[in-house]
Chain A
Amino acid sequence: MVAIEQSAPRAPATPPAPPAKPRLVTAPRRRRWGRIHDTRGYRAFQVFNAIGLTLVVIATLVPFVHVVAKSFSSEVAIRTGRVNLLPIGFNVDTYRLVSHDHLFWLNYWNTIKYTSVSTVVALVLTTTYAFVLSKKHLKGRTLLIWVAVFTMFFSGGIIPNFVLISAMGLRNQIWAIALPNAISVFNLLVMKAFFENLPPELEEAAAVDGLNTYGILMRIVLPLSKAVLATMTLFYSVSFWNSWFPAFLYLDHQNLNPVTIYLRNLLVGATGGTNMGGQISDLHISANVQAVAIVLICVPILLVYPFIQRYFVRGVMLGAVKG
């Protein structure tokens, strides 16, 4: 992907934290083709394109709207297949029901706990390693990079991981969730690319002033890296918020579960698998309960989505352009 880099000449020492360019993807060229030159065929294409993209938007949103509609509908209306995009028999009873379930909030709180702890661990490990890997003079750097990159292409597999974590006695501990996924190599490479772009002069000046490596990292590099740290925090916290499988494997008690497992148990209960416990079990696990759980799980993500989107896009592009 460095070919991309070549076609975009850059000053050797661009200032760190480039001024926010959230519209990098969208706005760059405007005058390339004047409207006067549009052929009839191209104008027809524009119309079809607009229709096509509208369909894409609709197709993406319809499933959400359907679920939200179900969450506000009466059970009878859902059962009889009358709810599609608007709630029928509007009520908030299901929300009340779920919000009175002690287990739901316990699991929700667990998700918050697991997400914050895991994200902190992940940030510390990723930042330190990315900082080390960004030092091009370091002997053995190539090897250190390959130690990380190789794991993208080959992994130990589910069973050996399971055996290992169990043998380490991490079952039913938060560490079984936080530690095994502490470094995402993709994030690591994005961060390394960012650090490599910081002007070396600052660090050299700090070294002359007597700061050691730790001091340089803490007092020079990190304050300059707020943008990439924010991106990484979002990357990691969204992935930990959404994760369910480690919890499914390593947590044996429902009081320890994150809320994604709560939803999974609702799902399995509804499809004839193992039965779920908890106070909600006497209630028929119907579509509206699932819908409410979905909505409540997604609300935090939707709240940060506007910020996320901008940062994520920049983060991905940073990683991609730097190769």
Chain B
Amino acid sequence: MTNLEADVGIRVMGSPATAPTPRMGAAKPRKRTWRQAFRRDWQLYSLALGPIAFFLVFRYLPMIGNVIAFRRFRPGGSILGTGPFTLNYFDRFIHSKTFWHVFENTLILGGLTLLFTFPLPIVLALLLNEVRNGTWKRFVQSVSYLPHFLSIVVVVTIIYQVTALDGLVNQAIHRFGVTPIPFMQQPEWFRTIFVSSEVWQTVGWGTILYLAALTMIDDDLYEAAKIDGANRWRQTWHVTLPGLRTTMITLLILNVGTFLGVSFEKVYLMENPLTYSTADILSTYLFRVGMASASSLSYATAIGLFEAVIGLVLIMSTNLIAKRTVGTSLW
């Protein structure tokens, strides 16, 4: 165990939210060559073979597979496509009206979802934090987590049932004399239904990280605030919310990064030709186009690549902005 000291030295670190990249090297007394490292740790490296093969084949190979966005893909042929490289497929969707319409839908649906599902868990966590009766609090938590554990298929079927002509919502509005509305067939209702069901599904579970962060806030801060004459509201404003800041920013970065990818599976199950005008988003559109015929696979891949790159750029820029302005970041 020659490296015991080095291990212990590394173990002490506890510095702000970044990947452990730079400090690692600094803590090491001397650099090992790859040959030495391999001789010493070959058993560890051998354990990593399976997982690395997994990442290479099922994660990185599909990334490389995106070259078919630049080349023609023939079913049965190479998964890397054939023929010369071309930007035709990008050209095609950039000049496609449908594409821009779907892109706009994606932005609206993603934006609305973010607008509601990001702040509401904070509110619910703060409310739960004020509950004194432990049993009641646990009960509310248990119930609100429940939708998170259901299959998307189950959730969407429940949505259909609740909004059906004979469902709960129509029964309720019928009491007020409104004629029943076939909600799932009307494009103007899609966004409302989608966002409310997202809220139903995710807000309870979303409180967990905030509740965890709340337990970490030092009680002395509240004592100090009280001595300074802060009432409950000001304690929340000056102690609780700042205590949640790191968690909020981290989740915001993650949410912004995934916001173009708004729940493909759910939209795919919820939409139908009648509601495409508001429901169809990039991922569902490209999936439908790609699956329709093998000759469209390259076109669909180009759209997918476009979406993935925007997602990556979004998450990197939010991360950078967060790092510069508030000093919190994912890496």
Binding site for B on A (CB under 8 A): 1-8, 12, 23-30, 32-33, 39, 42, 45-46, 49-50, 52-53, 56-57, 59-64, 66-67, 70, 78-81, 83-84, 124-126, 128-129, 131-132, 135-142, 144-149, 151, 153-164, 167, 179-180, 182-183, 200, 204, 207-208, 212-214, 217, 238, 241-245, 260-261, 263-264, 266-267, 270-273, 287, 290-291, 293-294, 297-298, 301, 305, 308-309, 312-313, 316-317, 320-321, 323
Partner of B153, one of A128, A200, A260: A260
Known A-B contacts A1-B246, A3-B246; A313 and B170 likewise in contact (beta carbons under 8 Å):
no
Answer whether A263 and B50 are a contact pair too, CB < 8 Å, given A78-B166, A156-B65, A160-B65. no
Q: Is the CB of A160 within 8 A of B304?
A: yes
B145 at the interface (CB under 8 A from A): yes
User: Which 9 interchain pairs have the tightest Cβ spacing?
Assistant: A156-B62, A160-B65, A157-B304, A242-B151, A129-B51, A213-B43, A139-B37, A81-B166, A160-B62
Contact residue among B43, B156, B164, B213 (Cβ-Cβ distance under 8 Å from A4): B213
From B24, B44, B218, B287, A158 is in contact (CB under 8 Å) with B287
Which residues on the B side are within 8 Å of A80 (C-beta)? 166
**CA A190 to CA B160, docked complex, whole Å:** 36
Q: A39 to B231, Cβ gap below 8 A?
A: yes
Chain B 297-331 interface 0/1 with A at a Cβ cutoff of 8 Å (1 = within): 10011001101100110011000000000001001
Q: Can you list 30 contacts pairing A with B, beta carbon distance less than 8 Å?
A: A4-B212, A6-B14, A25-B212, A39-B232, A57-B143, A63-B161, A63-B168, A81-B171, A81-B180, A83-B166, A124-B50, A128-B50, A135-B41, A138-B41, A142-B20, A149-B19, A158-B283, A159-B300, A160-B62, A160-B63, A160-B66, A161-B65, A164-B61, A164-B65, A182-B54, A183-B55, A244-B152, A270-B160, A309-B142, A312-B145
Known pairs A137-B3, A159-B290; A125 contacts B54 (CB<8 A): yes
Which chain B residues lie closer than 8 Å to A157 at the CB level? 62, 66, 301, 304-305, 307-308
Across the interface, B215 reaches (CB within 8 A) one of A28, A30, A131, namely A28
- CB-CB < 8 A to A59: which residues of B? 200
Q: With both chains docked as a complex, state the minimum distance between the C-beta of A262 and any C-beta of chain B, in angstroms.
A: 9
Residues of chain A within 8 A (CB-CB) of B300 are 158-159
B residues with CB within 8 A of A: 1, 3-4, 6-7, 10-12, 14-17, 19-21, 24, 32, 34, 37, 41, 43-45, 47-48, 50-52, 54-55, 57-66, 68, 73, 79, 124, 127-128, 130-132, 134, 136-147, 149-154, 156-158, 160-162, 164-168, 170-171, 174, 180, 184, 200, 204, 208-209, 211-213, 215-219, 222-223, 226, 231-232, 246-247, 250, 257, 264-265, 269, 272, 283, 286-287, 290, 297, 300-301, 304-305, 307-308, 311-312, 315-316, 328, 331
What distance in Å separates the Cβ of A54 from its nearest Cβ neighbour in chain B? 8
CA–CA, A66 and B158, complex, Å: 9
B7 touches A53 (CB 8 A): no
Contact A53 B168 (CB under 8 A): no
* A-B contacts at CB below 8 angstroms, number: 340
Contact A271 B184 (CB under 8 A): yes
A167 touches which of B45, B58, B79, B170 (Cβ 8 Å): B79
Task: Give A144 to B20 CA distance when docked, in angstroms.
Answer: 12
Q: A131 contacts B55, CB within 8 Å?
A: no
| A81, chain B: closest CB distance, angstroms | 4
Query: B167 and A66: CB pair below 8 A?
Result: yes
Across-interface contacts of B161 in A (CB, < 8 A): 63, 66-67, 70, 287, 290-291
A2 touching B17 by the CB < 8 A rule?
Answer: yes
Known: A49-B131, A81-B165, A271-B272. 13 other contacts (CB 8 A): A26-B141, A53-B127, A60-B144, A128-B47, A146-B19, A155-B62, A156-B308, A242-B154, A243-B151, A291-B161, A294-B158, A312-B145, A316-B212
- Write out the residue numbers on chain B whose beta carbons fall within 8 Å of the beta carbon of A5: 14
B246 touches A4 (CB 8 A): yes
CB distance from B265 to the nearest CB of A (A): 5
Question: Quick check: A263 and B312 within 8 Å, CB to CB?
Answer: no
CA distance A49 to B124 in the complex (A): 10
Q: Which A residue sits closest to B328, measured CB to CB?
A: A3
Q: What residues on A are CB-neighbors of B21 within 8 Å? A: 142
A320 lies within 8 A of B286 (CB): no
Inside 8 A of B157's CB, which chain A residues have their CB?
Answer: 263, 266-267, 290, 293-294
Q: Is the CB of B311 within 8 A of A154?
A: yes
Among A52, A63, A207, A263, max chain B CB count under 10 A is at A63
Question: B48 and A163: CB pair below 8 A?
Answer: no
Bound-complex Cα distance A315 to B90 (A): 42
User: Which residue, B139, B218, B301, has most C-beta atoms of chain A within 10 A?
Assistant: B301
Chain A residue numbers with a CB within 8 Å of B250 are 1
Residues of A within 8 A of B232 (CB): 33, 39, 42, 45
B151 is contacted by which of A32, A241, A317 (Cβ under 8 Å)?
A241
CB of A137 within 8 A of CB of B48, answer no
Interchain CB contact under 8 A, B142 and A129: no
Residue of B nearest to A167 (CB): B79
Q: How far is the CB of A53 from chain B (nearest CB, A)?
A: 5
Q: Are B44 and A317 in contact (CB under 8 A)?
A: no
A217 to B246, CA, bound (A): 34
> Which B-chain residue is minimally distant from A268 (CB atoms)?
B269
Cα-based distance from A279 to B148 in the complex (angstroms): 32
Contact A27 B134 (CB under 8 A): yes
Contacts of A208 in B (CB 8 A): 1
Q: Do B11 and A136 touch across chains, with their CB atoms under 8 A apart?
A: yes
| Chain A residues closer than 8 Å to B132, beta-carbon distance | 30, 46
Contact A244 B153 (CB under 8 A): yes
Query: How far apart sit A23 and B215, CA to CA, in the bound complex (Å)?
Result: 11
The 8 Å CB contact of B43, one of A2, A39, A151, A214, is A214
Roughly how many angstroms separate A272 CA and B259 CA in the complex, as a whole number? 30
Taken together as a complex, chains A and B put the C-alpha atoms of A168 and B161 apart, in Å, by 39
On whether the beta carbons of B168 and A309 are closer than 8 Å, the reply is: no
Closest residue on chain A to residue B43 by CB atoms: A213
B contact residues around A301 at 8 Å (CB)? 149-150
